[in-house]
Chains A and B, each alone.
Chain A
């Protein structure tokens, strides 16, 4: 263990923000942009050894140091580490930040310094969320992350930015409140510690009653479901995306939404496996009502989200809103992947430890594949949707509109942009050899193994996704170019440098997913072991 990589990854952006904030003159926008780009690039380089030197044979948390007391009376500690669940998300975050800086070099012209300071603070918080092994620390970063994003939307956003920013903030804060309440209770039950492993160990020794697990799990699940966002808690997302500046949208879609999925996997499933699968009527005294368990409900919401998000995307007149709804659809698939294996009676038997051999094997194999696919898909979605938002930003910076009806024929005036957009679309609709395909196949196969109906619903996303994306391309890029569309400037070199890594990496992950899957799969196996049963 040479360098304290994780500490550096969090502190470097903070330090950079301080230096830029205090010492770089406000008027020197070039220096601000350059310095921010440098900091984010260095941070990305520092994160690379995580990926290349993580010992998959050993597994578990690595690169962390022993827990350090933080707020001693509360039992909160500074305890960092990455494992197969979080490593790729950390690298995705550091990878995207330089791109976010490049994405704003044209669009952000006012309060440039403040903007970049906010970006850096956001990076620190996002990395923090993924590397925290202490619940309170996790919560701290989770909350800190909100502020810069709130500012990004509220200050540099579009016309209705205040309303959108407020909606985003209040919505997430509601989730945070629920999570905080649940955290407090977990703290008392786990013997006054916030350390996630210790909590897990304590719960393994003295299991919580199923009903307690249910309520705690519900609070966490709602908090993360808002973040994902899961239908019907998703309506803040289109507003936020439409109003956010390009960098905000890229970061929001590519990283921040993933915190929801990550939270399910890091906290909800391993800490409250029975809470996830329990049918609540058992203790609500509603004997014959047959209420669905959290897993069943979330699976259905995920499945509905796939179709519903796609149908919403079809109805949109604003290109950015369309892509925002495509995220609802894609992340619906991720949610379905996480919960489908635990849904219904079979899931309850599994976590209750009464599933017989064959059933259990099927569930374990299918669930492992689906969850592995889900993490992979989160990365894939980050790349493809990040690229799409980036490119919509490129259009907006030139045409000052995102309304599909006002665009058209852009392939004639901006052929390079068109090629990039088509490639990003192919990645988004999961053409084989793109990362999305690997993720989707694993998810759908895993879900199919455990529940065929959910898989059939999920597969329709293939068709609907192609429909709304290709239809959008047809309206925006094809047809005759008239008026301002005919004279629109093509994507420039800086923007090309920003978007190409996203597109290329999408194919790299699609053709050679091996090293990434090898990283994820053991972590998923560990996760599944923790369900007990």
Chain B
């Protein structure tokens, strides 16, 4: 049981890590050619390794089954004796023990059942034997059906008492998808960067690629870590790389400040992750002293998942989700992501759109068996996740309409799309959320990279100074247009399918028995966001590419088309934005037949899913299911098309000139525009006018009045002053005159004697 793919796991992380080390230590001396070769090669190699692992998993899933168990069980079905049964159970358990799948829910369930019926099966009770027999058969079947995963343990990291954490990497269906996205999109963005950063000095160039490779390595640790603490290495590691890359042009104090802000806001969320982790650990320890305090995902999901959990587990999940709002920029911690646009544009594409910011979705999907049952004071945690996601999606989507900075539009759009993913996760549609994560990685990357090409060409980020670029940079125009339409959910493009799947799951949640009316609200919020998305997508393309070029100024050069190193990633990602939707299209699976699965279904066995039987969902083949599906698709398309039409009306039909641009919105709309441009004033009021001044004031106040004045000058120096004053006072008596001393002696003696006398008569 040591497939060769397993050995690839550490290599996948090591390759970009070594690339970062190499470029960091020697890059400056070796020149740009070597730096870019190493930097581009490492994610590509990692991608090929990841692909090998993917096909390995695929082959294992469709290769010989664990039929030893099932055959054995089937053979001995009749006339089983107690010892026979015992042996069979034992064998089944051994066989299961070999399976190291991460979240194969049936296996997890099987192991639990096996533990329960094990002793019972041995009992000399026919009825129990039958039960045990049936279970062992089910388990065997489940073990066969469950998808495979790979594990690689590098050894112990921390071990104190029964708390033990290993350097263990695990790859299953969920992580392999993210690994392919990280290394694949990562490679394209590295390639693009060689041109985008080409004009930098060699030192800066090497530094850039060092950070970028380090990011890839950290992100891979995040998705491959087999336990929560290892994930946290990646989690904070990507945060650090993000900090370094946002403030990459550190000579500009404003950009440096944006980096600091991103890190600090993320750390606020990380506080939640740490406390959430502790809650789960303590919940584990309440299970008894013999349960190891392991943060291994499989262990956690098995011990705490699969059942309704309030108390510490619920609280822990809520705290973990708070951490996700930091990393994935959701309300209330979303405020750092728009500022993160201070980093170079390829960084925004890779870190702040395609990969790092989706870590929160990954975390919840990874721990979905626990999240599915978690409750806090009677409210399901996933309900809170969905609510936060939908609200963030809506408010950020609206804010995107108000932005004039092309990167800010994309930043708010990303916040909004991440909100969609959380809505999907909250609706227990982990597969759909991951599907949207993948398509979003493609179309948002193409949009950011296209925006980078535009910025590169026009030397501005303000869309007010763009326009008419369609003629100057056609490749960029067409690829970005495709990306924008995919983002808008234009029918048949990738975003359409994935977004629709999320909205449909929300609708199903609303339809399900016992679901709250609030799910209908969330569905309509998502639908409204779909409309807004289409509006700002069209606006983005319109202001940038249509009409006349408004930039340049007197004697200004015309913008140039993107060089090939920048254009080719755009092209690839553009194609993916069109066709990635097919990954979720039933027709494709039917056509490919031989084992291919839809992306959402591919992920499904390793995450908790809303099952129709359990939650009163309409059955997938029922009439009501199909009618809702069709209606959902239709309504979703309508929302997208309406949005595009509105965008076209405002920003497309009559291309605005430089002068009319300012005066385009007037009256009450101007106020709305103002609010949206400032993103609902959240950062302004909460952060800049409240939190920051409050902390500054408090620390200044405490420093000046408490620490410096009261404690140091008052108490400490005061003690010294008292001592000095006291000695000055007693010095008065030290006159050196013997007669005085004799007088003191007499007075003293009288006082002492009087005291002694009084004491003796009182006793």
A residues neighboring B (CB under 8 Å) = 167, 170-171, 232, 235-236, 239, 308, 311-312, 314-316, 361-362, 365, 368-369, 372-373, 409, 411-412, 415, 426, 431-433, 438, 441-442, 444-445, 448-449, 455-456, 459-460, 462-463, 466-467, 470-471, 473-474, 477-481, 511-514, 517, 521
Q: 18 A-B pairs, CB-CB below 8 angstroms?
A: A311-B702, A314-B695, A365-B161, A368-B161, A432-B232, A432-B235, A433-B237, A441-B229, A445-B278, A448-B282, A462-B274, A463-B268, A467-B260, A470-B259, A474-B257, A478-B253, A511-B157, A517-B160
Q: With an 8 A cutoff between CB atoms, is B715 at the interface?
A: yes
Q: Nearest Cβ distance between residue B660 and chain A, in whole angstroms?
A: 38
- Chain B positions within 8 Å of A466 at CB level: 263-264, 267
Q: How far is the CA of A480 from the CA of B702 in the complex (A)?
A: 31
Contact residues of B between 186 and 211, Cβ < 8 Å to A: 203
* Stretch with Cβ within 8 A of A (4 or more), from B5-13, B124-132, B243-251, B375-383: B243-251
- Chain B positions within 8 Å of A362 at CB level: 285
Contact across chains for B267 and A462 when beta carbons are under 8 A apart? yes
Contact A315 to B702, CB < 8 A, known contacts A412-B251, A474-B260: yes
Contact residues of B between 694 and 724, Cβ < 8 Å to A: 695-696, 698-700, 702-704, 707, 711-712, 715-716, 720
Contact A432 to B267, CB < 8 A, known contacts A445-B278, A514-B156: no
Scoring B160, B271, B289, B702 by chain A CB atoms within 10 A of each residue's CB, the highest score goes to: B160
Q: How far is the CA of A311 from the CA of B700 in the complex (A)?
A: 8
Question: Which of A311, A373, A467, A474 meets B698, CB within 8 Å?
Answer: A311
Contact across chains for A444 and B711 when beta carbons are under 8 A apart? no
Scoring B264, B268, B278 by chain A CB atoms within 10 A of each residue's CB, the highest score goes to: B278
Give the top 8 A-B pairs by smallest Cβ distance, nearest first. A478-B256, A315-B703, A235-B712, A479-B253, A478-B250, A311-B699, A432-B233, A314-B699
Q: With an 8 A cutoff between CB atoms, is B84 at the interface?
A: no
Question: Which of A316, A412, A471 meets B260, CB within 8 Å?
Answer: A471
Q: Nearest Cβ distance between residue B269 and chain A, in whole angstroms?
A: 9
Q: How far is the CA of A314 from the CA of B694 in the complex (A)?
A: 12
10 A-B pairs besides A365-B285, A368-B160 with CB distance below 8 A are A232-B715, A235-B707, A314-B699, A409-B251, A432-B232, A449-B282, A478-B251, A478-B253, A481-B251, A514-B158
- Chain B positions within 8 Å of A467 at CB level: 260, 264, 267, 695
- Chain A positions within 8 Å of B158 at CB level: 438, 441-442, 513-514, 517
Q: How far is the CA of A3 from the CA of B757 in the complex (A)?
A: 66
- Chain A positions within 8 Å of B506 at CB level: none
Q: How far is the CA of A441 from the CA of B275 in the complex (A)?
A: 10
Contact A426 to B240, CB < 8 A, known contacts A444-B274, A459-B271, A463-B271: yes
Contact A463 to B160, CB < 8 A, known contacts A311-B698, A314-B699: no
Contact across chains for B240 and A521 when beta carbons are under 8 A apart? no
Contact across chains for B203 and A415 when beta carbons are under 8 A apart? yes
Q: With an 8 A cutoff between CB atoms, is B527 at the interface?
A: no
Interface magnitude class on chain B: 35 or more
Contact across chains for B263 and A315 when beta carbons are under 8 A apart? no
Q: With an 8 A cutoff between CB atoms, is B236 at the interface?
A: yes
Q: With an 8 A cutoff between CB atoms, is B493 at the interface?
A: no
Contact A460 to B703, CB < 8 A, known contacts A442-B160, A513-B157, A521-B160: no
- Chain A positions within 8 Å of B233 at CB level: 432-433
Contact across chains for A514 and B159 when beta carbons are under 8 A apart? yes
Q: How far is the CA of A514 from the CA of B165 in the complex (A)?
A: 11
Contact A312 to B236, CB < 8 A, known contacts A517-B160, A521-B160: no
- Chain B positions within 8 Å of A433 at CB level: 233, 237
Contact across chains for B263 and A470 when beta carbons are under 8 A apart? yes
Q: With an 8 A cutoff between CB atoms, is B657 at the interface?
A: no
- Chain A positions within 8 Å of B715 at CB level: 232
B residues neighboring A (CB under 8 Å) = 156-163, 203, 229, 232-233, 235-237, 240, 243, 247, 250-253, 256-257, 259-260, 263-264, 267-268, 270-271, 274-275, 278, 281-282, 285, 289, 695-696, 698-700, 702-704, 707, 711-712, 715-716, 720
- Chain A positions within 8 Å of B275 at CB level: 448, 455-456, 459
- Chain A positions within 8 Å of B264 at CB level: 463, 466-467, 470
Q: Nearest Cβ distance between residue B684 and chain A, in whole angstroms?
A: 20
- Chain A positions within 8 Å of B696 at CB level: 314
Q: How far is the CA of A308 from the CA of B702 in the complex (A)?
A: 8
Contact across chains for A479 and B251 when beta carbons are under 8 A apart? yes
Q: Nearest Cβ distance between residue A335 and chain B, in whole angstroms?
A: 17
- Chain B positions within 8 Å of A409 at CB level: 251
Contact across chains for B236 and A431 when beta carbons are under 8 A apart? yes
- Chain B positions within 8 Å of A315 at CB level: 699-700, 702-704
Q: How far is the CA of A438 from the CA of B163 in the complex (A)?
A: 12
Q: Nearest Cβ distance between residue A169 and chain B, in whole angstroms?
A: 12
Q: How far is the CA of A412 from the CA of B274 in the complex (A)?
A: 36
Q: Nearest Cβ distance between residue A1 and chain B, in whole angstroms?
A: 30
Q: How far is the CA of A444 from the CA of B240 in the complex (A)?
A: 22
Contact across chains for B256 and A474 when beta carbons are under 8 A apart? yes
Q: Nearest Cβ distance between residue B628 and chain A, in whole angstroms?
A: 44
Q: Nearest Cβ distance between residue B384 and chain A, in whole angstroms?
A: 20
Contact across chains for A312 and B699 when beta carbons are under 8 A apart? yes
- Chain B positions within 8 Å of A477 at CB level: 250
Q: How far is the CA of A442 from the CA of B274 in the complex (A)?
A: 11
Contact across chains for B247 and A445 when beta carbons are under 8 A apart? no
Contact A411 to B250, CB < 8 A, known contacts A369-B160, A478-B256, A513-B157: yes
- Chain A positions within 8 Å of B278 at CB level: 444-445, 448-449, 455
Q: How far is the CA of A327 from the CA of B264 in the complex (A)?
A: 20
Q: How far is the CA of A308 from the CA of B704 in the complex (A)?
A: 13
- Chain A positions within 8 Å of B229 at CB level: 432, 441
Q: How far is the CA of A225 from the CA of B105 in the complex (A)?
A: 52
- Chain A positions within 8 Å of B257 at CB level: 474
Scoring B203, B281, B282 by chain A CB atoms within 10 A of each residue's CB, the highest score goes to: B282
- Chain A positions within 8 Å of B267 at CB level: 462-463, 466-467
Q: Nearest Cβ distance between residue B198 and chain A, in whole angstroms?
A: 21
Contact across chains for B160 and A170 when beta carbons are under 8 A apart? no
Q: How far is the CA of A167 from the CA of B696 in the complex (A)?
A: 29
Q: How far is the CA of A236 from the CA of B94 in the complex (A)?
A: 64
Contact across chains for A369 and B163 when beta carbons are under 8 A apart? yes
Contact across chains for A432 and B703 when beta carbons are under 8 A apart? no
Q: How far is the CA of A470 from the CA of B257 in the complex (A)?
A: 9
- Chain B positions within 8 Å of A308 at CB level: 702
Scoring A167, A362, A415, A463 by chain B CB atoms within 10 A of each residue's CB, the highest score goes to: A463
Q: Nearest Cβ distance between residue A172 and chain B, in whole angstroms?
A: 13
- Chain B positions within 8 Å of A438 at CB level: 158
Contact across chains for A372 and B160 when beta carbons are under 8 A apart? yes
Q: Nearest Cβ distance between residue A298 and chain B, in whole angstroms?
A: 18
Question: Which of A312, A365, A369, A415 meets B702, CB within 8 Å?
Answer: A312
Q: How far is the CA of A333 from the CA of B270 in the complex (A)?
A: 18
- Chain A positions within 8 Å of B702 at CB level: 308, 311-312, 315
Contact A445 to B699, CB < 8 A, known contacts A462-B274, A474-B257: no
Q: How far is the CA of A470 from the CA of B267 in the complex (A)?
A: 12
Q: Nearest Cβ distance between residue B348 and chain A, in whole angstroms?
A: 19
Contact across chains for A312 and B250 when beta carbons are under 8 A apart? no
- Chain A positions within 8 Å of B256 at CB level: 474, 478-479
Q: How far is the CA of A96 from the CA of B233 in the complex (A)?
A: 28
Q: Nearest Cβ distance between residue B601 and chain A, in whole angstroms?
A: 34
Please give me the residue from chain A that is nearest to B243 by CB atom: A470
Contact across chains for B253 and A445 when beta carbons are under 8 A apart? no
Question: Which of A312, A368, A474, A480 meets B707, CB within 8 Å?
Answer: A312
Q: How far is the CA of A477 from the CA of B244 in the complex (A)?
A: 13
Contact across chains for A462 and B703 when beta carbons are under 8 A apart? no
Contact across chains for A167 and B232 when beta carbons are under 8 A apart? no
Q: Nearest Cβ distance between residue A170 and chain B, in whole angstroms?
A: 7
Contact across chains for A312 and B270 when beta carbons are under 8 A apart? no
- Chain A positions within 8 Å of B285 at CB level: 362, 365, 449
Q: How far is the CA of A441 from the CA of B243 in the complex (A)?
A: 22
- Chain A positions within 8 Å of B271 at CB level: 459-460, 462-463
- Chain B positions within 8 Å of A517 at CB level: 158-160
Please give me the residue from chain A that is nearest to B696 by CB atom: A314
